[in-house]
Chain A
Amino acid sequence: MSMLIEALSFEEITVTSGISTLLRKLAQSGLDDATKAEATTIANHMLDETMEHSRTLSKILKMVAGGDRDEY
């Protein structure tokens, strides 16, 4: 179970915050419109999947721990 907690924490804290910061900086950047739009689409896709990973890991953790509460 500890490895699942480690993975969840990694996805929720490290990866999500890194991509969110990147998206904020992209919006403020002086990149040309086409590059900015392409980069933002890719970063949003990565962020969506990372959040989905967190949801999947939460479900597995709940299943492994045998709990029936909604943690989130």
Chain B
Amino acid sequence: MSTEDLLNDLREILDVETKAKDLYNDYLGRIDDKLIVDSLTNIRDDELEHVKLAGKLIDTIGRSRPQDIFIIEALTDFAESFPAVLVSTSVEKYLGSNLTILRYLINQKNLSCIYVAVNKPSSSLLRSFRKEGIDVDRMYFVDCTTVAGKEERRIVVSAGNLTDISIAISEWIQKVPLRKFVHLDAISTLYIFNPSDTVERFLHALVAKLRENNVGQVLIAMRDEMEKKSLDLLTSLCDSKIET
């Protein structure tokens, strides 16, 4: 549903409300019964207010921008400064936000992505990303959900072994020569497999290591699945935060 579709509908509503107001004005000039005149006057006044409200809606929606724009604006300098960005998202917006970020950083900014897949196996992610037109040739996976198997662009580790995850990320940092970023999807799931203080120490070390290597980082956190204290700590570790 585009903003232009909504604006077209609103212009129609404005037209209809204006017609309604004119209709009642016409009736009021032709009716004498006081009770009916009073009722129709009230309705006509409401229609007048609706005309104003429809105009206000057109203005409000006309000035608004889609959620995607906010994410892209927040990542504009990412490919130059390679910061650590925390993306705090709701469960409903998680998929859409994830795809917007990947599409922008991989397809438009030409960055390579080291994708730490904690939620879904890399095979399933690859299918979705191909379908969404994301350039998967630039993606390298640390897969924490697949039990075994070997593929050219995948290192399989356990979500409960943070040291192995860290080693796998380092391995990709060495092997992937191009400008790159680590996409950790999702931090909140790491808390299921590991004690919170261990996850926090791991993230602290990871952010520092990637900064040192000039590797960008996008840390996805589903805020409803995390304690506020942990989210606050992550916010302090990162350079910026995007709320979706």
The residues of A with any CB-CB pair to B shorter than 8 Å are 3, 6-7, 10-11, 14-15, 18-19, 21-22, 25-26, 28-32, 35, 38-39, 42-43, 45-46, 49-50, 53, 56-57, 60, 63-64
* One of B30, B39, B56, B61 near A60 (C-beta < 8 A): B39
CB distance from B42 to the nearest CB of A (A): 8
Q: Are B6 and A25 in contact (CB under 8 A)?
A: yes
CB interface residues, B 79-106, toward A, < 8 Å = none
Q: Are B68 and A30 in contact (CB under 8 A)?
A: yes
Q: Are B50 and A18 in contact (CB under 8 A)?
A: no
B147 touches A (CB below 8 Å): no
**Cβ–Cβ < 8 Å partners of A56 in chain B:** 39, 42-43
* One of B23, B43, B53 near A42 (C-beta < 8 A): B53
Q: Are A25 and B9 in contact (CB under 8 A)?
A: yes
* One of B6, B36, B67 near A26 (C-beta < 8 A): B6
CB distance from B242 to the nearest CB of A (A): 12
The residues of B with any CB-CB pair to A shorter than 8 Å are 1, 3, 5-6, 9-10, 12-13, 16-17, 19-20, 23-24, 27, 30, 35-36, 39, 42-43, 46, 50, 53-54, 56-57, 60-61, 64-68, 70
7 tightest CB-CB pairs across the interface, nearest first?
A35-B64, A30-B66, A29-B1, A28-B1, A53-B43, A22-B9, A18-B13
Inter-chain contact total with CB atoms closer than 8 Å: 81
Given that A22-B6, A46-B53 are known contacts, is A39 also in contact with B66, CB under 8 Å in the complex?
Answer: no
CB distance from A33 to the nearest CB of B (A): 8
What residue of chain A has the Cβ atom nearest to residue B68's Cβ? A30
Alpha-carbon separation in the docked complex, A59 to B243 (Å): 50
Alpha-carbon separation in the docked complex, A39 to B223 (Å): 26
CB distance from B132 to the nearest CB of A (A): 15
What residue of chain B has the Cβ atom nearest to residue A29's Cβ? B1
Q: Are B23 and A18 in contact (CB under 8 A)?
A: no
Given that A7-B23, A7-B27, A53-B46 are known contacts, is A31 also in contact with B3, CB under 8 Å in the complex?
Answer: yes
**Cβ–Cβ < 8 Å partners of B42 in chain A:** 56
CB distance from A50 to the nearest CB of B (A): 8
**Cβ–Cβ < 8 Å partners of B61 in chain A:** 31, 35, 39
* One of B9, B13, B20 near A11 (C-beta < 8 A): B20
**Cβ–Cβ < 8 Å partners of B46 in chain A:** 49, 53
What residue of chain A has the Cβ atom nearest to residue B46's Cβ? A49
26 contacts between A and B (CB under 8 A): A3-B27, A6-B23, A7-B20, A7-B23, A7-B27, A15-B17, A21-B9, A25-B1, A25-B5, A25-B9, A30-B1, A30-B68, A31-B6, A31-B64, A31-B67, A32-B64, A32-B70, A35-B61, A42-B53, A42-B57, A43-B57, A45-B53, A46-B53, A49-B50, A53-B46, A60-B36
**Cβ–Cβ < 8 Å partners of B65 in chain A:** 32
What residue of chain B has the Cβ atom nearest to residue A34's Cβ? B64
**Cβ–Cβ < 8 Å partners of B10 in chain A:** 22
